[in-house]
Structure 1
Amino acid sequence: MEQGSENARRKLHKTLKPSWVFAIALGSSVGWGAFILPGDWIRDSGPLGAIIGLGIGALILMIIASSYGVMIKKFPVSGGGFTYAFIAAGKVWAFICGWFLSLGYISIVALNASALTLLLKFLAPGFMKQGYLYSVAGWDVYVPEILIASVLILLFALINSTGTSVSGKIQFYFSVLLVAGVVLLGFFTFSVADQPLTNLQPFFKGNQSILTSVLVILAIAPWAYVGFDNVPQAAEEFNFSPRKATMLIVASLFTSFLIYAIMIGLTGWTFPSLTAVGTGDLWLTGEVVRSALGIGGLAVMAVAIVMGIFTGLNGFFMSSSRLLFSMARARALPNFFRTMTKENQTPVWGIWFVALITLPTPWFGRQALTWIVDMSSTGVSVAYFFTCLAAYKVLAWNKEKAGREIAPMKKFLALIGMIASGAFLALLLVPNSPAALSTPSYILLLAWAVVGGIFYLAIRKRYNSLTQEETEYYVLGKTIESEVMDTTDEPKKDDRVPLFNASS
């Protein structure tokens, strides 16, 4: 066992309020896609097909959220999928899950930073299309978008380095503005429409079955709602009972669905047909709002989009830095990732590492960045699977066993969550599925796996230098499966009991 204060288990401050955690989940789940993509979804599935698909997706993710609630309640520590994969399957799978999950979180930071430039290209194309540099995969790169995205990344890195007492508070205010903007847009577009329900027709895409219309949108649900899983990354910083986590996650998913439904609805119900405001490659939802409500409506929408972008940046900066911190605490990453500020116990180097990694991404062009985000969705789905598997293992059907909670319904939901997570992975990885990865995404996925394998070989000796019991202590804060916890910051050699034995 390692000795000394340098090797003591480092802990985060408990500063997050329930409303802040709800805002982290909601703001991370709803980003630019809720405002930019409804026109595409309507063309692919029809308005009702898109709403049903996202509604079923939200229900499935609520089932998965039940497992997150179980794990947060039992192990209120940071790490999320990394921690739960360790509990479910051991060190190697924990590293694999953490490796791909970290890429997913970091790439979404980069994607949110570039999303603001999309909005500005629509609102101020003359300004944004100055200083042409080059094209990447058909995407023209200009100087203003690089500068704006870079400033955003640095700004939110600075905000997060001050601690969750600041970042959590602004996340709440940003989320309030986001919800208010969507409600106003939905109310006024419905009010000005002559026949809103008639305008929504056809409800489904005419040249395909209703089932296909629904499945096309259901396939993107993990991407549409990614962000609710930021809650377990913040679990160590709750200043309230972790029992509330399930309710907060489910409430955030339901609210996220309502936001998606309203934005799809107003895109379809405001005018008799999509051609009323023009077609082509224009931003359809933006054109609908501008045509119906004028510059005032567009201004409200712009504020809502900016809030969605800001909450995504803020939430994923927090979650990615906490994931890196947790992996470093388990010796799966270099020590500097667990370095914290003395004043507010914030993993500051993880935050600035995320900034350093994402700063070059605006230079690659948005199309190349979407390839990374698409393939990193597999990491999120893998984390869903291991979370459900871990919950399944720590729960009992109807008989007390090794301190496990008797909760047959939650255990059944965990089983359903595993199946759903496997289905989401299949939709991403099986060729010809509605959400199959593009060829560039497959190549990047393979490349990231190879890099991960090389990195694992480099750190394997250090990572495995801790015993199973010691790793349990650093990852979970305890090594005894009962809820009895030692008051010291180091485990005692004579009372360590493995959290799970080989037969579990």
Structure 2
Amino acid sequence: MATHERKKLERSLKPHWVWAIAFGSAIGWGAFVLPTDWIGQAGPIGVVLGILLGAVLMMIIGVSYGFLIEKFPVTGGEFAYAYIGFGRTFAFLAGWFLTLGYLCIVALNASALALLAKFLFPDFVRTGNLYVVAGYEVSIIQIAIASIALILFAILNIRGASFSGRTQFAFSMVLVLGITLLGLGAIFTEGPSISNITPAFKPDQTAIASILTILALAPFAYVGFDNIPQAAEEFDFKPKKAFGLIIWSLLAAGLAYSAMILITASTMPWQDLLAQINAEQSVWGTGDAIESYLGRAGVFIIAIAVSMGIFTGLNGFYISSSRLTFAMGRARILPNAFRKLHSKYHTPYVGILFTMAICLIAPWFGRQALLWVVDMSSTGVAIAYFFCTATAYKFYRWSSNHPAKNNTDVVSPGRKFLSLIGMLSSIGFLALLLLPWSPASLGRESYIVLCIWIVIGIVFYIFNYKRYNQITEKEMNYLILEKEEI
């Protein structure tokens, strides 16, 4: 019999809400803020091919997620899957790095809202400039805008998963409408032309290097789809539907990214566009590109669209970060406060407040810090992807001739092969980010902060090691998976 208390989350999330949580989180602000940065790194077609190839690899990884969600519909996602496949030490490792990824993305979205405000109201936002970080002016107005957004979405998430899911779906529909209007404008107005996207790749590097540069960012670009397993315990539907929701969210996200890249690059010869942005020291190159053919009306449309992207990112990753820390608290690897539920709304409010408190630091570092943490979030997420696909690989068997390890093993050579591809893809993402000679290697600042996070994790694990490992295997199975036997 279980002796430790195991609190549960309420089942209130409908399928289209969960799709919106995944899609909206994957798109976030990146599709509207980063196109000119990415085009400069790889050329328009290099970006599109890298993004779409990344979507395919994420779908392959999604096969493993779909299987594990169906078998183990509990919150915690990769933390739970790493525990199933590799034990509690590796579960902490996966959970710790994934927490880094989620926190980075919440902070990124809040900071992107301040960037949008600086583009729309430059004189107002420059009021009260405090200092410069890596060439970027940081003002008290920017800090206030990002901080208010973080606080408001923390309150929104504390009020309940169903409230968050409903608003997420509405935000996502407005976001899709915004991209559609921008695309129609590019097709039917004078100026934008498909000929402007040449040369297809960055001239001073090979096509393969261009594609790999963008492919390395796929864990960051599509990270929202793994919000689905974090919310699995709150599904108001059968877990077997999760795989379809993963595939459709990734497909929609890949098309949305590609559309914004092509729209931006088509406004004028893209090398001229980048030169103009650099010469004018533009705050938001994509916004300038849209304004060049749609005027202020275009700025209004993309401002609404990017606001929706930011809101869906904030909302979705507040959900995921709080559920992950709740699952780790329930397993007694985080302090007891993280497993508390709100007395009225029954949400893991401590994890929400923790996320808010950590992310309130980010606005003080300016836009350049956004680019530093993109790389860090990709690293954390790629590690989590590896543990998920590796665990699924251990469950699948090549044939019935291979002995079953337990009664949940599945004979499926096709899925076992896809989970193997997913494992190799995750390792490949990490190699692209961590190897110094890679075209997508982390910058110095990202390495420094990543090392600090690793050291904090080691100290934290040592401090909690005794309590975490004193719990019996059956008890830990129950706390993480709600069953005493795996």
TM-score range relative to shorter protein: over 0.9
Distance 1:308 1:381 in 2: 22
- Corresponding letter in the other structure for 1:175: S
- In the other structure, the counterpart of 2:367 is 366
Distance 1:91 1:127 in 2: 51
Distance 2:87 2:17 in 1: 32
- In the other structure, the counterpart of 1:426 is 431
CA shift, 1:274, in A, is 4.7
- In the other structure, the counterpart of 1:209 is 206
1:291 partnered with 2:292: yes
Of 361-370 and 165-174, deviating more is 361-370
- Residues 273 and 321 (structure 1 numbering): CA distance in 2 closer, same or farther, change over 3 Å? closer
CA shift, 1:193, in A, is 4.2
CA shift, 1:204, in A, is 2.1
Distance 1:323 1:48 in 2: 36
Distance 1:355 1:104 in 2: 14
Distance 1:340 1:184 in 2: 42
CA shift, 1:42, in A, is 2.2
Work out whether residues 66 and 242 of structure 2, in 8 Å CA contact, stay in contact via their aligned partners in 1: yes
- In the other structure, the counterpart of 2:377 is 376
Distance 2:349 2:453 in 1: 25
* Partner-residue secondary structure (3-state), 1:331: coil
- In the other structure, the counterpart of 2:248 is 251
Q: Deviations over 1:59-111 (max 9, x none)?
A: 00110011111110100001011111111111101111111111211121111
Distance 2:114 2:192 in 1: 35
- Corresponding letter in the other structure for 2:230: Q
Work out whether residues 190 and 269 of structure 1, in 8 Å CA contact, stay in contact via their aligned partners in 2: no
- In the other structure, the counterpart of 2:306 is 305
Distance 1:61 1:118 in 2: 29
1:241 partnered with 2:248: no
Q: Deviations over 1:367-417 (max 9, x none)?
A: 345434422321111100000011111222222722112222111111110
Of 65-74 and 213-222, deviating more is 213-222
Distance 1:370 1:448 in 2: 17
Of 121-130 and 196-205, deviating more is 196-205
- In the other structure, the counterpart of 2:125 is 128
* Partner-residue secondary structure (3-state), 1:148: helix
CA shift, 1:55, in A, is 0.7
Work out whether residues 17 and 166 of structure 2, in 8 Å CA contact, stay in contact via their aligned partners in 1: yes
- In the other structure, the counterpart of 1:468 is 473
Work out whether residues 220 and 374 of structure 2, in 8 Å CA contact, stay in contact via their aligned partners in 1: no
- In the other structure, the counterpart of 1:337 is 338
Aligned-residue CA RMSD (Å): 1.7
- In the other structure, the counterpart of 1:488 is none
2:415 aligned to which of 410, 419, 435:
410
Alignment TM-score, normalising by the size of structure 2 = 0.95
Distance 1:251 1:319 in 2: 19
2:136 aligned to which of 123, 135, 139:
139
Work out whether residues 290 and 298 of structure 1, in 8 Å CA contact, stay in contact via their aligned partners in 2: yes
Distance 1:137 1:29 in 2: 27
- In the other structure, the counterpart of 2:358 is 357
Of 39-48 and 105-114, deviating more is 39-48
Distance 1:106 1:441 in 2: 15
Give the total of aligned pairs.
478
Work out whether residues 192 and 270 of structure 1, in 8 Å CA contact, stay in contact via their aligned partners in 2: no
- Corresponding letter in the other structure for 1:453: I
Work out whether residues 193 and 269 of structure 1, in 8 Å CA contact, stay in contact via their aligned partners in 2: no
1:197 partnered with 2:202: no
Of 417-426 and 222-231, deviating more is 222-231
Distance 2:235 2:477 in 1: 21
Distance 2:465 2:334 in 1: 10
- Corresponding letter in the other structure for 2:439: P
Q: Deviations over 1:217-255 (max 9, x none)?
A: 112111111111111100100101111111111111111
* Partner-residue secondary structure (3-state), 1:207: coil
Work out whether residues 219 and 434 of structure 1, in 8 Å CA contact, stay in contact via their aligned partners in 2: no
- Pairs within 5 Å for 1:29-48: 29-48=26-45
* Partner-residue secondary structure (3-state), 1:363: helix
* Partner-residue secondary structure (3-state), 2:166: helix
Work out whether residues 376 and 445 of structure 1, in 8 Å CA contact, stay in contact via their aligned partners in 2: no
Identity of aligned residues (%): 52
Q: Deviations over 1:252-283 (max 9, x none)?
A: 11111111111111112233555369342423
Of 362-371 and 300-309, deviating more is 362-371
Of 314-323 and 193-202, deviating more is 193-202
CA shift, 1:117, in A, is 0.9
CA shift, 1:194, in A, is 5.9
Distance 2:448 2:353 in 1: 28
Work out whether residues 397 and 412 of structure 2, in 8 Å CA contact, stay in contact via their aligned partners in 1: yes
* Partner-residue secondary structure (3-state), 1:464: helix
CA shift, 1:358, in A, is 1.6
* Partner-residue secondary structure (3-state), 1:205: coil
CA shift, 1:2, in A, is 6.4
Distance 2:73 2:2 in 1: 24
1:269 partnered with 2:266: yes
1:9 partnered with 2:6: yes
Distance 2:447 2:204 in 1: 30
2:80 aligned to which of 61, 80, 83:
83
- Residues 414 and 363 (structure 1 numbering): CA distance in 2 closer, same or farther, change over 3 Å? same
Work out whether residues 7 and 330 of structure 2, in 8 Å CA contact, stay in contact via their aligned partners in 1: yes
Q: Deviations over 1:428-485 (max 9, x none)?
A: 11002122111121122111111111111111111011111211111011123xxxxx
- In the other structure, the counterpart of 1:170 is 167
- In the other structure, the counterpart of 2:49 is 52
Distance 1:195 1:313 in 2: 32
Alignment TM-score, normalising by the size of structure 1 = 0.92
CA shift, 1:352, in A, is 1.1
* Partner-residue secondary structure (3-state), 1:355: helix
Q: Deviations over 1:18-68 (max 9, x none)?
A: 100100001110122211221222232221121111111110011001111
- Residues 38 and 143 (structure 1 numbering): CA distance in 2 closer, same or farther, change over 3 Å? same
CA shift, 1:322, in A, is 0.1
* Partner-residue secondary structure (3-state), 2:203: coil
* Partner-residue secondary structure (3-state), 1:228: helix
Distance 1:279 1:134 in 2: 23
- Residues 61 and 289 (structure 1 numbering): CA distance in 2 closer, same or farther, change over 3 Å? same
- In the other structure, the counterpart of 1:218 is 215
1:97 partnered with 2:94: yes
